Amino acid sequence: MKKKVLITGIMGQDGAYLAKFLLSKKYKVYGAYRRNSNYENNRLRRLGIEDKIELIDLEINEFTSVNYVINKIKPDEIYNLAAMSFVASSFDQPLYTINTNFFALINILEVMKNSKKKISLYQASTSEMFGNSTKKSINENTNFDPASPYGISKVGSHYLVRLYRKAYNLDCCSGILFNHESPLRGEEFVTKKIIRQLCEILNNKRKIMYLGNIYAKRDWGFAPDYVEAMWKMLQIKNKDDFIIGTGKCYSIKEFINKTCKYLKINIKWTGKGINEKCINLNSNKAIIKISKKFYRPLDVNHLKSNPLKAKKILNWAAKTNLSAIIKKMCDDQISSFN
Ligand code: GDP
C-alpha cells in the first residue's frame, strides 16, 4: 500500500517542492489549504504536479476541522508547513502569526495524541528562533533568542513538539531550517525581490529598487535540497531535531554583488547608511537606494548554521551553493519575461 502524507501549507514554496519529492517516492499526497485564503496553486502548476495531489480544505485553527481531516485521511506522515512566514509582516500581525504558527500545531498534536494509528509529524522550525544569538555558528545546542513575533511563535511550536515527544512518546520532530530560496520563493523575501527587480532593471522595466538593511547576513540554501532533509528526519527511528543549513553566510550586499556579476551589470557602491547607493557604471545612474521603509523594528543581523549533526545522522548536506541558486533564480526570472 502507498504511504499517505498530509502536507499543510501545500501552496507555499516548501509545500510544493516537498509534494514533488514525495510523489517521486511514491507517496499518496494530500495537500491542505485554506479555502478562504487567496487560493493560488501556481507553484504546484509550475512544478507540473497540480493534478497529482488531492487538495483538502483545512481550517488549521479549528480543532474540529483538523480532527476531521486527519481521521479521514489517516496519514502515515504529516508535514506542518502552514505558517505566516514573513518576518516583517509578523511585526504588523503578531496575533495572526501566533495563532497560525503556534495554536494550530496544538490541534495537530492533540489529534495525534488521541489517534490509534501511529502518525509521524515534521514541524517546520526556523533559524529565526536564534535571533541575535552571539554565536558565530549555530548548532542544536545554541540557545534561542527570537527577535520577532514570527521567531517567538516558532520557538513556542518547537517546544510543543519536544513536549509531546517526551510526555506522550509521539513520533514527532522539528527541522530548524535556515533560509532557503528557489525560483518559487515568495516575492516579499529579499533574494526574490533583488533578483526580480534587478532583472526588471536589466530589461528596462524598472529604473530603481529600494532595500532596507543590506548588512544583514544569511545562510542561504536551496529549497529542493532542504525538503529532502525534512523527509530524512521522518525516516529515522529515534526522532530528534536537526539544524539544516549550508554552514556559509553572506550579506545582502554580497548577494547583490553576486547577482549583478551573473547578470553582467557593472556596479559600484557609494555613500553610507541611509545614503548608500548602488550605481550602474554603464548608465552612471543609481539602481539601488536604501529606504527606511524596509527596516524592521528589530532585525537579525547574522545567521550561520553548523549542520554537522544532519551530516552525521541523516547523511544530509546542502548540494547547491549560493552562486548556483542565484543562477537558477535569475534564469527563471528572465524566462518569465519572454
Ligand atoms: P528572513 O531571514 O526570514 O527575515 O528573510 P528575508 O528575505 O525577508 O530577509 C532577510 C534579511 O534581508 C533581513 O535581515 C532583512 O532586514 C533584510 N532586508 C533588507 N532589505 C530588505 C527588503 O527590502 N525586503 C526584505 N524582505 N528583507 C530585506
Instruction: Give the model confidence (pLDDT) of 13-30 as tens digits.
Output: 999 999 999 999 999 999
Task: Give 40's pLDDT tier (boundaries 50, 70, 90).
Answer: low
Q: What is the chain's alpha carbon radius of gyration, rounded to the nearest angstrom?
A: 20
| Element at 293 (helix H, strand E) | none
- Minimum mean pLDDT among 33-42, 210-219, 245-254: which range? 33-42
- Minimum mean pLDDT among 132-136, 230-234, 330-334: which range? 132-136
Catalytic pick among 8, 97, 100, 126? 126
pLDDT of residue 144: 96
Q: What angle do CA 180, 155, 98 make, to 5 degrees?
A: 90
Rounded Cα gap, residues 84 and 128, in angstroms: 13
pLDDT of residue 20: 98
CB distance 194 to 338 below 8 Å: no
* pLDDT at position 241 over 70: yes
Mean pLDDT of 163-178: 98
- Residue 188 CA: nearest ligand 1 atom is 26
Place of cell 536551496: 222
In 3D, which of 106, 157, 93, 171 has the Cα closest to residue 128?
157
Cell numbers representing residue 55 in the block: 487538495
Q: Which CATH class is domain 4-182+223-247+302-319?
A: alpha beta
**Which residues form the pocket of ligand 1, taking CB atoms under 6 Å from any ligand atom?**
87-88, 128, 179, 188-190, 193, 211-214, 216, 218, 252, 294, 296, 299-300
Place of cell 543549513: 245
Domain(s) labelled CATH 3.40.50.720 in the chain stretch across 4-182+223-247+302-319
pLDDT (tens digit per residue) in 264-289: 999 999 999 999 999 999 999 999 99
Is 150 a known active-site residue?
yes
Interval between CA 301 and ligand 1 midpoint (Å): 10
Catalytic pick among 17, 150, 164, 226? 150
User: Among residues of the chain, what percentage have pLDDT more than 90?
Assistant: 95
Q: Which of 13, 90, 148, 190 to mutate to test the pocket of ligand 1 (most atoms within 8 A of CB)?
A: 190
Rounded Cα gap, residues 94 and 230, in angstroms: 27
Between the CA of residue 313 and those of 137, 227, 238, 265, 308, what are the distances in Å? 19, 16, 11, 42, 9
Mean pLDDT of 246-270: 98
Rounded Cα gap, residues 221 and 322, in angstroms: 7
pLDDT of residue 37: 63
- Residue 150 CA: nearest ligand 1 atom is 3
In 3D, which of 303, 297, 309 has the Cα closest to residue 129?
303
Domain(s) labelled CATH 3.90.25.10 in the chain stretch across 190-215+251-299+332-336
Rounded Cα gap, residues 180 and 220, in angstroms: 5
Give nearest CA residue, ligand 1 atom 2.
Answer: 179
pLDDT of residue 187: 93
Interval between CA 241 and ligand 1 midpoint (Å): 25
**Mean pLDDT computed over every residue of the chain:** 96
Rounded Cα gap, residues 257 and 266, in angstroms: 9
pLDDT of residue 39: 60
Between the CA of residue 67 and those of 70, 80, 170, 274, 317, what are the distances in Å? 5, 14, 16, 50, 36
* pLDDT at position 36 over 80: no
pLDDT of residue 338: 78
* pLDDT at position 38 over 70: no
CB distance 131 to 151 below 8 Å: yes
* pLDDT at position 95 over 90: yes
* pLDDT at position 89 over 70: yes
- DSSP per-residue codes, 51-94: GGSEEEE--TT-HHHHHHHHHHH--SEEEE------HHHHHH-H
CB distance 56 to 99 below 8 Å: no
Q: Which fold has domain 190-215+251-299+332-336?
A: UDP-galactose 4-epimerase; domain 1 (3.90.25)
